[in-house]
Amino acid sequence: MADLGPPIGTGPLGKREARLAWGLLLPTITAVALVVVLPLLAIFWISFKPVELGDLRAPEVVLREDIRGDADVLNGEAALRYRLRNSSQDQPITGVTFTDTLPEGLTVTDLDPRCTLSDRALACNFGDWDPGTRETLTIPVTVGQAYLDAKVRPQDSPAVTTGTASNILTNATFTLDNFKRVFSGDEFLEVLWVTLFYTVFGTIGALLVGLFAALLLNKSFKGQGILRGLYLFPYVAPIIAVAFAWLILFDPFSGSANALLVQMGVTPEAINFFGERPLALIMVTVFEIWRYFPLSFLFILARMQSIDTDMYEAADMDGASPFQQFWYLSMPQLLGILSVLFLLRFIWTFNKFDDIFLLTGGNAGTRTLTVNVYEQAFAVSNIGAGAAVAVVIFACLLTFSLFFLKYISREEGL
Partner 1 sequence: MGFLRFGYITAPVLGALWMVVLSVTISVAMSFATGDPFRPSLWLSLCWGAAAAIGAAGLMGQKGAHWGVMLALIGVTLTPYGPIERGETGMFAATVAAVSLGAIFVWSVRKILHDTPMGALTRHEFEGAIIRFLTGFGYIFFTAIVLIPFYVMVMTSLKNQGELMQNPLDFSIDLSKGADLFRSYDELFTQFNFGTYMFNSFFISVLTVFITLAFAIPGAYAVARLRFAGQAAFSRSILLIYMVPMIVLALPIYIAFSMTGLRNSFWGIVMIYPVTTIPVALYMLQGYFRGLPAEVEEAGLMDGLSRLAVIWKITLPLSLPALASVSLYVFMIAWNEFLLAFMLLDDPSKFTLTRGIASLNSSEIPRQHLMAGSVVATVPIMALFLGLERFMTKGLTAGSVKG
Using the rule CB under 8 A, give the single segment among 115-123, 127-135, 193-201, 231-239 that binds partner 1. Answer: 231-239
For partner 1, which is the closer residue by CB, 204 or 298? 298
> Does 350 contact partner 1 by CB under 8 A?
yes
Q: List the end-to-end C-alpha distance of the chain, in Å, as a whole number.
A: 48
Site string for partner 1, 264-293 (x = CB under 8 A): xx------------------------x---
| C-beta separation of 144 from 120 below 8 A | no
> Does 240 contact partner 1 by CB under 8 A?
yes
For partner 1, which is the closer residue by CB, 148 or 257? 257
Of these, 84, 122, 207, 213, which contacts partner 1 (CB under 8 A)? Answer: 213
User: CA 15, 18, 22: angle at the middle one, nearest 5?
Assistant: 140
Nearest alpha-carbon partner for 404 in 349, 351, 345 = 345
Using the rule CB under 8 A, give the single segment among 73-81, 103-111, 178-186, 348-356 that binds partner 1. Answer: 348-356
List binders of partner 1 among 370-399 (CB under 8 A).
Answer: 370, 373-374, 377, 383, 386-387, 390, 393-394, 397
Of these, 188, 312, 342, 353, which contacts partner 1 (CB under 8 A)? Answer: 353
For partner 1, which is the closer residue by CB, 82 or 346? 346
Nearest distance from residue 21's CB to partner 1, in Å? Answer: 4
Of these, 118, 172, 185, 253, which contacts partner 1 (CB under 8 A)? Answer: 253
> Does 335 contact partner 1 by CB under 8 A?
no
> Does 228 contact partner 1 by CB under 8 A?
yes
Cα separation, 210 vs 291, in Å, equals 11
Of these, 122, 187, 254, 317, which contacts partner 1 (CB under 8 A)? Answer: 254
Cα separation, 308 vs 298, in Å, equals 18
> Does 340 contact partner 1 by CB under 8 A?
yes
Of these, 11, 54, 95, 229, which contacts partner 1 (CB under 8 A)? Answer: 229
List binders of partner 1 among 164-193 (CB under 8 A).
Answer: 169
For partner 1, which is the closer residue by CB, 58 or 79? 58
Look up residue 104 and give its DSSP letter. Answer: T
Name the H helices within 218-278: 224-231, 233-236, 239-249, 256-263
Nearest alpha-carbon partner for 124 in 134, 109, 139 = 139
SS3 for 44? helix
Buried b / exposed e over 285-320, threshold 16 CB at 10 Å, is bebbbbbbbbbbbbbbbebbeeeeeeebeebeeeeb
> Does 336 contact partner 1 by CB under 8 A?
yes
> Does 117 contact partner 1 by CB under 8 A?
no
For the CA atoms of the chain, what is the radius of gyration?
Answer: 34
Cα separation, 232 vs 397, in Å, equals 28
Cα separation, 198 vs 192, in Å, equals 10
| C-beta separation of 164 from 94 below 8 A | yes
Of these, 263, 309, 317, 410, which contacts partner 1 (CB under 8 A)? Answer: 263
Question: Judging by beta carbons within 10 Å of its beta carbon (0-12, 13-18, 19+), is residue 210 exposed, middle or buried?
Answer: buried
- 112-115 long-range contacts (CB < 8 A, ≥24 apart) are 112/137, 112/138, 112/139, 115/139
Using the rule CB under 8 A, give the single segment among 69-77, 156-164, 177-185, 349-357 that binds partner 1. Answer: 349-357
Number of residues counted as binding partner 1 (CB under 8 A): 100
List binders of partner 1 among 56-115 (CB under 8 A).
Answer: 56-58
Of these, 73, 74, 160, 227, which contacts partner 1 (CB under 8 A)? Answer: 227
> Does 20 contact partner 1 by CB under 8 A?
yes
For partner 1, which is the closer residue by CB, 115 or 341? 341
